[in-house]
Structure 1
Amino acid sequence: MSIRIDAHHHVWDLTRRPQPWTEELPALRRSFGFDELAPELRRTEIAGTVVVHTVASLAETHELLALAEREELVRGVVGWFDLEALDLPDVLAAARCLPGGRHLVGARHQLQSEPDQDWLDRPDVRRGLQELAQHGLVYDLVVAPGQLPLVTRVVADLPDVSFVLDHAGKPAIVHGDTEGWASDIAALARLDNVAVKLSGLVTEASWTSWTPDDLRPVADTVLTAFGADRVMFGSDWPVCLLAEAPYDRVVTTFEELIAVLDPTERDLVWGGTAQRVYGLEVA
């Protein structure tokens, strides 16, 4: 069996900073630490993870780097940086010098909740994206419905920047309305500088009644469009708990969704793609 990588999960400590986005989500209104996740990783034979920021906080990013320094299973950190800041090169260089800085693999911004829906297309943001590339960092994209055409335009204009689309672009599985999403995904997949995470699907379906069959058309669309060498697994823990999906259920569901692939392809989506795209060091 290949090395398994969880390319998308979160941790947060409410004693350090609030998580305003959880206010309407009672199941998430508590702290979630890596010590809670680690046993689940070992039980499901996950050999490494990429932890992703939750709020626009440089301090949180530094804390995630410190977590990666002390926790062997955390192989990569996707943090937050102000892409429009003039001192971004210095801020990135400083982060690399912190304990755990070698585990910094990417950056992200909550594009899905950005009031300016064209934020990604701002000249200063584009400059920041190019700065990330110069530092060998990937940019994760978390989008709201309707933002995929904007993403496709920016990704096409910046071929030297490596992008990863989170949560398969958040298709509206619960409404059964994925035709427009599928068309947008096909257009984005034609660009070879973007990969995609099969993550977060359970929370786009019915939280109380979803089954793997509900997710299968989306997974098949993504795998067909991108190919296994540009698709990776992500649990989106602990957000997955909203959909009554404990960690082991997310893993077994993913196993079902990729069962149609051959062994080489399964190795890629389980870990090979994440290792290559994020440059992870996993023994």
Structure 2
Amino acid sequence: MVVDAHHHLWDLDVRDQEWITGAAMAPIRRSFGIQDLKPLAAKAGVDATVVVQTVSVAEETPELLAIAAEEALLLAAVVGWVDLTADGVAERLAELRELPGGEFLKGIRHQVQGEPDPRWLCREDVRRGLRAVGAAGLAYELLTLPSQLAAATETVTALEDVRFVLDHCSKPPVATGEIEPWASLIRDLARRPNITSKLSGLVTEADWARWTLDDLRPYADVVLAAFGPDRLMGRLGLAGVHAGRLVRTRAGHR
């Protein structure tokens, strides 16, 4: 079974995607829906996909769940968003699960990369929310920058009952060719048994105009060696910004 572990859907008529700006992003400044995804998935031999939140807006997650309810043969899981710092995270998660498609909610994500505090993940209100995510049986997806990896490791270590998934290899500086301190931080994080990683997002950190597989290989090698094939999952990037190459790994999204 081939699973695309990470893709996005959005409708610009419903809400803007403020991160899609500038000339380089112009090719994807349009809506991407399930009808865009289906033929690409079929062509690539994809059996199921995981759709992931794009914005920190409460209304988006019910919308994605509703799509999953209608397209259960393709959309196997939804990674949504809740405000981890708010009171009542457990109650909000329970409410989401009662909605149409609520059974497809398998994880929660927040764009930690946009938080100015490099230790945001270590805040007690954030960790309280993460504990609620874990108690609900959901995974938490880490979208971090290399400068936030130390805090991520501290939090993954502290919350050993929570399952974590690292998105996009924590966005290493592929365009510059630097590999440290990112590589050492990744190896340290991977020593924690309650985290897996997606081998994804490397193209978006490369020089978009002239990247090659040789540019990506050192970073992929670090992640593969650190996590091993049984704790890696891949994605095709069938819709949205992540127009990457097929990566087949043995791990699935839980």
CA contact (8 A) 1:105 1:137 kept: yes
Q: TM-score, normalised by structure 1?
A: 0.85
Residue identity matched to 2:75: V
Given residue 87 of structure 2, which amino acid in structure 1 is its aligned partner? L
Report which stretch shifted further, 19-28 or 187-196.
19-28
Q: Report the CA distance between 1:162 and its aligned residue.
A: 0.5
Are the aligned partners of 1:200 and 1:235 in contact in 2 as well (CA < 8 Å)? no
Deviation, 1:145, is 2.9
Aligned to 2:45: 45
CA distance in 2, matches of 1:81, 1:240: 23
Per-residue deviation, 1:37: 1.4
| Residue of structure 2 equivalent to 1:223 | 224
State the AA in 2 paired with 1:40. Answer: L
- How many pairs align? 250
Letter in 2 for 1:83: L
Equivalent residue, structure 1, for 2:9: 11
Which amino acid is 2:241 matched to?
V
Which residue does 2:33 correspond to in 1?
A: 33
Distance 1:53 1:188 in 2: 24
Per the TM alignment, residue 29 of structure 1 is displaced from its structure 2 partner at its CA by: 1.7
Structure 1 residue identity aligned to 2:38: A
Asked whether the equivalents of residues 198 and 232 of structure 2 are also in contact (C-alpha less than 8 Å), the reply is yes
1:200–1:234 CA contact under 8 A, matched in 2: no
Structure 2: runs of 5+ lacking an equivalent? none
**1:190-249 Cα shifts (integer Å, max 9, x gaps):** 0010000011111111111112222111111111110111100023442134xxx5xxxx
Distance (whole Å) between structure 2 residues aligned to residue 159 and residue 216 of structure 1:
31
Alignment of 1:132-281 (within 5 A): 132-236=133-237, 237-241=239-243, 250-251=245-246, 254=247, 266=249, 268=250, 273-275=251-253, 278=254
- For 1:138 and 1:117, the matched residues in 2 are separated by 21
Shift of 1:179: 2.1
What is the CA deviation profile of residues 242-275 of structure 1, one whole-angstrom value per residue up to 9, with x for unaligned ones?
xxx5xxxx12xx36xxxxxxxxxx4x1xxxx224
Unaligned runs of 5+ in 1: 256-265, 279-283
Mapped partners of 1:203, 1:21: distance in 2 = 13
More helix by share: 1
Q: Which residue matches 1:262?
A: none
- Normalising by structure 2, we get a TM-score of 0.95
Q: Distance in 1 between matches of 2:212 and 2:50?
A: 26
Aligned to 2:118: 117
Cα distance in structure 2, aligned partners of 1:211 and 1:185: 22
Residue equivalent to 2:20: 22
**Local SS of the residue matching 1:175:** coil
